Structure 1
C-alpha cells in the first residue's frame, strides 16, 4: 500500500512515528470526450486571453483574487516556506472526545495509519487506550499543503485518520431554502411511518450495498467492445514541410514565377495607356514650336 505521508503523532509525552495510506479509492468510471466528427480526444489547452497564446507550466504563478481582477501573487518560495513551517510540526492530539459527539457532516476522507520504524509499541498503546476508553482523538495535521482538522480512531484493529471540516467550512443550515417549519403530524401517520422504519431496521452490512449504475455501465462498455462497436482516434495530420533549404527556396521561386506574368502584363498595359495619353500633348508642343 502506497505511503502518502510520514510523520509523528503525539499525545502527552508519547510520540508515535506513523505512515499514512489512503483508506478509500474512487471507482467512478471515467469517460473521455471525443470530437463527434473524427472521434479524436478533445484537448484542453491553457491559454492567456491577453497574449492570445498557449502558456507553458513555467510561465504560471499562483495568486489570490481579493477583489474583481485584483490579485496578490504568491511565489513558490513563499508557499514552500509556509508549507515547511507547518509540515515540520508533529501531529498532536489536543483533545479526546466521544465518537457520537461528531456529526457525520464534518467527516471528509479516511486514511489508514501504520506504525513507522520503532513505533509498534507506542502504536499498540494508543490503540488499546482508545479502545478501553471509547474515545477518539482530535488533532491537526498538514496534508498536501492544507492544514486539516482530523479524528484518530480505531477501525478493525487499525488506527485511522479521518479528516474533518473546520466549523466555518460547514454552511449554515439557516441558508437552506424551503425547509418547512415544525408542523403537527397526525398521530396515525406518524405511527405508520415508525412501523415501516421498524420493519426495515436491520444490522448494517456494507457488503450488501453495490453501485448498480457503475456495474451496468461497465457491462454496457464490455458488450459494445465484444460487438466491435469501437473507434480509433485518427492521427493528427503532419504539416507539409520542405525537406531541406534547397526545396524551400525552389518552392518559393516557383511561386514567385507563377505570380510574375500577371504583374508584368498589368505593368505593360499601364505603360501603354500612359503613352497613349501622352501622345497628343507631344504633338501640340511640336506645332506650337514651329
Structure 2
C-alpha cells in the first residue's frame, strides 16, 4: 500500500490477512472487495506470574457442575432471564439469515460533516477484487466528486453492523459505527452555568489558540509511556532485579504543579500560558538566528578572501599591461629617447641652411 498523506507508510497487503470478503452494492452496481484491518496495536504484551516464585498463572475452564476441565469446542453460549436459561449453539447462530449476508449495502450518501466522530469505531481497508477494478474506481471517484460519505449496513462476525464508506489515499475505507441507542445522552449541569466570560478572557483564549495553531502531523507524536516501558524492560533484562529505576529514568519534579498552585484566576492562567509559549518561540528563534548568522559570517569571510585574491591578480595583470605598452618591441626606454632626439637635430640643421642662403 502506498504512503499516506501524513507521510506514514501503510502495511503491505502481502503481510495482511483478510478478515472479510464480499461485495459493496449500491443500486445495481456490485463491487467485490476484501477487508483488512486498518490498525494494529503497539503495546507491550504481558503475562501474569505468581509474585512469590514467578510461576505462570494459567486459567482453566471448569464446569461448576461436574468439575471437569472443558475444551473450548465444547462450550456453548447461554442467556438467562427471570431464572430461565436458554442455550444458543453455533448452529443456531449460523442459521440466522443475516449471518449469511456477505454484502456491504449502501443505504445513504450523506454530507460528510453529518457523521459524528463519537459514533465511529474500527476501520478496515477495502481491496478491489475481480478481473477489473472499474466499479471500485467508479465508487471511489463518486465519493470524492460529491464530497459525501456512504452509510452502509453489513454483517461481520455474526453481528449486523452500521458503517460508513469513505476514501483515503485512493483506497476505500470501511469504518464501523455505533447504533443510535448505543450513544449515551449527556447533560452536565456545569455546562448550563450562567457564568459570564468577559471580552479580555475571550481575546486571551483566542491568542492562546493562535499560539498553538498548526497542521496536524501524527508522525511527530509518540506513545511515551510505551517508550519508557520498553526502556524499563531492556534495563531489567540487562541488570536484573538490582535495577535502580531512579537512576534509569531520573527523578524530575513536576514544574507545572507548582505553577498551577500559584494561578489565582482564569486571566492569570491565560497570561501565564501565553508568556510561556512566547518564551519557547523566542528561544527557538534565537538558536535559529545564531545558526544563520554563523553561516552568514563564514560566507562573508569567504567572499572577502576571494575578492582580495581577485584584486591582487588584477593589479598584477595591470602592471604587465603597462610594461608591455611602454616597451612593445622589448627595447629599453633610453633607446626610445634617442629616437625622439634625431628629428630635433635635423630641424636645427635645416634652419641654418636657410639663414646662409
The two structures have a TM-score, normalised by structure 1, of 0.73
Q: Within 1, Cα distance between the matches of 2:215 and 2:183?
A: 30
Residue of structure 2 aligned with 1:74, choices 88, 101, 111:
88
Instruction: List gaps (5 residues or longer) in structure 1.
Output: 231-290
Instruction: Give the Cα separation in 2 of the matches to 1:199 and 1:12.
Output: 49
State the Cα distance separating 1:179 from its structure 2 match: 4.2
Verify: 1:22 aligned to 2:37, yes or no. yes
Number of the residue aligned with 1:63:
78
Matched, 1:143 2:156: yes
Secondary structure of 1:154 counterpart = strand
Could you tell me which residue of structure 2 aligns to residue 115 of structure 1? 128
Moved more, 16-25 or 98-107: 98-107
Matches within 5 A, 1:123-162: 123-162=136-175
In the TM superposition, residue 13 of structure 1 has moved relative to its aligned partner by 1.3
Distance 1:118 1:178 in 2: 58
CA 87–119 in structure 1, closer or farther in 2 if over 3 Å, else same: farther
Looking at structure 2, the residues matched to 46 and 183 of structure 1 have their Cα atoms a distance apart, in angstroms, of 56
Q: Secondary structure at the match of 1:197?
A: helix
Structure with the larger RCO, 1 or 2 (CA within 8 Å, 6+ apart): 1
Q: How many residues align?
A: 226
Using the alignment, how far apart are the partners of 1:11 and 1:142 within structure 2?
A: 16
SS at match of 2:18: coil
Q: What is the Cα deviation at residue 178 of structure 1? A: 5.5
Q: Which has the higher strand share?
A: 1
Structure 2: gaps (5+ residues): 1-15, 243-357
**1: distance between equivalents of 2:132 and 2:33?**
7
Give the C-alpha shift of residue 215 in structure 1. Answer: 0.9
Larger Rg: 2
> Contact conserved, 1:138 with 1:150, CA < 8 A, in 2?
yes
Is the contact made by 1:16 and 1:119 (CA closer than 8 Å) also made in structure 2?
no
Inter-partner Cα distance in structure 1 for 2:44 and 2:185? 33
Deviation string for 1:52-88 (max 9, x for gaps)?
A: 3433334422112334x43221122111111x64433
> SS at the partner of 1:79?
helix
Q: Deviations over 1:148-195 (max 9, x none)?
A: 101000011111001011101111113xx6644232333122332222
> Aligned match of 1:36 in 51, 71, 76?
51
Aligned equivalents of 1:38, 1:89: Cα separation in 2: 51
Between the aligned partners of 1:76 and 1:140, the Cα distance in structure 2 is 23
Q: CA RMSD in A?
A: 1.9
